[in-house]
Every structure is written in C-alpha cells, then in structure tokens.
Amino acid sequence: MPAYDPNNIFAKILRGELPSHKVYEDERAFAFLDIMPRAPGHTLVIPKSPARNLLDVSSDDLAHVAGVVQKVARAARTAFDADGVTIQQFNESAGGQVVFHLHFHIIPRKEGVAMKPPASAKEKPEALAEHARKLAAALAAS
C-alpha cells in the first residue's frame, strides 16, 4: 500500500489550509460536511492521525473515530428527521476510495428517497453552513 500523503485534501482541511463546514471536533477526530453531498447532512468523520484508510489506522484511533461516527449518526437522525442513516467507508482505489485520508461517510436517509450519485453536484455554501449548524446543535444537545 502506498505511504500516507500529507498533501491530501483532508490533511489540508485538518491543518486549516482549506476551508470546511465543521460539525464536530475533539482531540483525535474531526467531522465536516461533504461538499458534494449524496443527501442533505452528508458528513465525513476523520481521525486527526495520518491514516490512509482502515488498513493502516491504529486500532485505538479507529475505535475513537467509530465512537464519533455513532455520535454524529445519532445527531444526523435528529437534525434531519432521518428514517435511517447510511455509513460508507472505502479503502484504496479498487475499493472506491478517492481521498486518501481515512474517512467515514454518514448519510441521513429518508424512506424511499435514493442517494444522489457520488460527486454529482457541489452544494451551495449557504446550505452547507445551515446543515452544519443544525448538526452541531443536535450534537450539543446530545
């Protein structure tokens, strides 16, 4: 497996070199909105440690990130009145991974509503700001 590339987009977001719509942060994890959401509220949860994907992350960091995924998924259900939540995670190009910093997708779902195809459209910044605000409020209340 190739080495971790510190210039990947999510590493730049973690270092504050690129903007993001933050949903949650603690000492080991960061959550922010996907710019091309497959449904409103589509969030990405990442470790702060330099892990390429599930195959090289430490089990401690993975356990911590899994806890944050659950926290955000619960908040997403409340904030978006979701009937369900889809969690996705891809490893290496053959596994569907495009950005090579470990991330979990959290996608709030409505009964009978299909997800948009991957990378179909960039969401408006105002909509992302509103969705991040709703998620952060649900997290604060949890």
Catalytic positions are 103
Which residue, among 23, 107, 27, 31, has the nearest Cα to 73 in the 3D structure?
A: 107
Give 26's DSSP letter.
Answer: -
The single-letter code of the amino acid at 1 is M
Out of 4, 22, 28, 36, which residue is the one contacting ligand 5GP (CB under 6 A)? 36
85, 106, 39, 52: CA torsion to nearest 10: -150
Residue 96 interacting with ligand 5GP (CB under 6 A)? yes
Residue 104 interacting with ligand 5GP (CB under 6 A)? no
State the nearest-atom distance from the C-beta of 98 to ligand 5GP, in Å.
4
Residue 47 interacting with ligand 5GP (CB under 6 A)? no
Residue 98 interacting with ligand 5GP (CB under 6 A)? yes
Chain positions 111 to 140 lying near ligand 5GP, rule: CB under 6 A, are: 118-119
- Residues of this chain that bind ligand 5GP (CB under 6 A): 9, 20, 32-36, 90, 96-99, 103, 118-119
